[in-house]
């Protein structure tokens, strides 16, 4: 995802626009509190809004970084991703070693590399380039006004539902046992190794990743990729502390697609993904923390696009012009 320079307003948002933003965010938090199982759900709704805000302000994405390397030999996007991973590692490694904080158990995502991983990575990489964005990029660019990403989101949801229906087949393919560098080396040594890798990417990868963008402002932006990387890492850390696991988006897509399939008439409760836990299929989407955060990302990007007077698309019938070009 690449950023197209926009006109940066010289004044802060007016009271009317700010009131509309606060009302929209308040409604999301209220629904999350109403249907969620604890106060952690509305808290994560706020974190999701923050993620949408940071993604929009910095135009941070993943698909465009790969394309920039292949087409122009420019790895500046990889440098920003290395910064995000470095900051996240500093936060995550000691927290995961603790295993618990404020009464919340903490855990990461881990799976052995195998045939499923290789096929999935290939399909995801191709899909990102065809669809114009990764999961987070699709959500925030859609929220920012580029309605062309609706089709990308739709196929994200369809593909995730197919994955949920065929999970038993994918799980049966050969793979290596799962392990982490923290388990092998201990978290302090593993952190040093990871930071060394990210430092090497920063030092030797071609391209420039400036720390600040000219005219960068906290509220009106636009931000540099590095500012966005740090913001995303901090919010990912907040997600770990509140939810007990890292930030992710696609589990929400699998739930939405499964609900669609259930509505059409499929026996979704018999799918391997839901066989032991069919509750989310009949519960509100606001019961699911991943869905709440996904909604928050869309709302955060849409709200701040409006506040910053950069909303060139429209949800209410005005002429549509893309805010971002897909790259």
What are the pLDDT digits (tens) for 267-285? Answer: 999 898 898 888 888 888 8
- Flag whether 208 is in a domain: yes
Whether the CA torsion 47, 183, 62, 174 is positive or negative: it is negative
* pLDDT above 90 as % of the chain: 32
- Flag whether 115 is in a domain: no
- Flag whether 318 is in a domain: no
Residue 188: how many other CB atoms lie within 10 Å:
11
**Number of domains the chain is built from:** 1
**CA–CA dist 285, 260 (Å, integer):** 12
- Which uninterrupted H or E stretch holds 72? helix 63-72
Conformation bin of residue 265: beta by default, left when phi > 0, alpha when psi is -120 to 50: left
At how many degrees (to 10) do helices 289-307 and 40-58 cross?
A: 40
Q: What is the DSSP letter of 249?
A: S
**CA–CA dist 61, 136 (Å, integer):** 7
pLDDT at 207: 73
- Flag whether 202 is in a domain: yes
pLDDT at 2: 39
**CA–CA dist 312, 212 (Å, integer):** 24
Domain span at residue 90? 15-110+124-161+183-307
- Flag whether 231 is in a domain: yes
* Residue 319 exposure: Cα atoms within 13 Å on the Cβ side: 1
pLDDT at 6: 39
* pLDDT above 70 as % of the chain: 83
Tell me the pLDDT band of 3, cut-offs 50, 70 and 90.
very low
């Amino acid at each position: 995802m690449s950023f197209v320079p926009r006109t940066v307003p010289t004044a802060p948002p007016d009271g009317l626009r700010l009131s509309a933003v606060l009302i929209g965010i308040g409604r999301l938090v209220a629904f999350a509190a109403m249907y969620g199982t604890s106060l952690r759900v509305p808290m994560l709704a706020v974190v999701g809004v923050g993620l949408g805000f940071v993604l929009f302000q910095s135009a941070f994405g993943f698909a465009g970084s790969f394309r920039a390397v292949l087409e122009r030999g420019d790895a500046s996007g990889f440098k920003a991703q290395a910064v995000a991973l470095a900051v996240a590692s500093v936060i995550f490694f000691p927290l995961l070693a603790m295993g618990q904080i404020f009464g919340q158990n903490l855990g990461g995502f881990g799976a052995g590399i195998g045939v499923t991983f290789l096929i999935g990575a290939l399909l995801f990489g191709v899909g990102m380039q065809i669809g114009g964005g990764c999961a987070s990029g699709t959500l925030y660019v859609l929220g920012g006004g580029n309605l062309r990403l609706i089709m990308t989101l739709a196929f994200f949801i369809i593909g995730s539902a197919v994955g949920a229906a065929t999970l038993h087949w994918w799980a049966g393919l050969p793979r290596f046992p799962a392990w982490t560098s923290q388990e092998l080396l201990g978290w302090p040594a593993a952190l040093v190794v990871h930071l060394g890798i990210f430092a090497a990417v920063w030092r030797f990868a071609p391209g420039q990743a400036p720390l600040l963008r000219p005219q960068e402002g906290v509220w009106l932006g636009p931000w540099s990729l590095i500012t966005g990387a740090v913001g995303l890492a901090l919010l990912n850390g907040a997600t770990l502390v509140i939810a007990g696991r890292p930030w992710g988006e696609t589990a929400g897509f699998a739930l939405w697609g499964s609900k669609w399939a259930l509505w059409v008439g499929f026996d979704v409760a018999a799918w391997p993904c839901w066989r032991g836990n069919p509750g989310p299929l009949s519960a509100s989407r606001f019961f699911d923390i991943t869905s709440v955060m996904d909604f928050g990302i869309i709302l955060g990007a849409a709200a701040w696009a409006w506040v910053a007077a950069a909303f060139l698309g429209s949800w209410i019938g005005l002429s549509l012009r893309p805010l971002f070009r897909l790259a």
